[in-house]
Amino acid sequence: MNVRQETKLLGSNNKMLLNIHSEFDEVLQPFGHQAADFFLAASLYHARKISFARAAHIAGLSSDAFRYRLEEHFNQGFLMTDECVLEDVNTLNNLEV
């Protein structure tokens, strides 16, 4: 049996029905009742479709709790993008006189 959950599309009055394959119940059950929200939010964050703050919010977790769970399940809390690293290097270079 498939689980059907109704959710609103962002910025829209339309509704989107999510059909979650029934095998996810067995896989997600050990991770608790918010596991589907967390893993969906984490997937969107890792795909760089939403920000860290947005992912934590839609997962229903504080920033610290979301980071902790990312580290627990993905061995990293924050994604380091090339742009972030280059920005930090440039900042350090500008600080050196």
Q: Over the stretch 42-53, which tens digit does the pLDDT of each residue have?
A: 999 888 888 888
CB–CB of 60/40 below 8 Å?
no
**What is the β-pairing status of strands 3-8 and 15-20?**
antiparallel
Percentage of residues in the chain with pLDDT exceeding 90? Answer: 23
* Domain residue limits at 31: 3-95
The pLDDT, as a whole number, for residue 85 is: 59
Q: Is 7 left (phi over 0), alpha (psi -120 to 50) or beta?
A: beta
| Mean per-residue pLDDT over the chain, rounded | 77
Query: What does the alpha-carbon distance between residue 69 and residue 81 come to, in Å, rounded to a whole number?
Result: 20
Instruction: Give me the number of domains the chain comprises.
Output: 1
This prediction has a pTM of 0.64
CB–CB of 4/15 below 8 Å?
no
Q: Is the pLDDT of residue 71 over 70?
A: yes
The pLDDT, as a whole number, for residue 97 is: 54
Q: Is the pLDDT of residue 5 over 60?
A: no
In terms of Cβ atoms closer than 10 Å to its own Cβ (0-12, 13-18, 19+), residue 22 is exposed
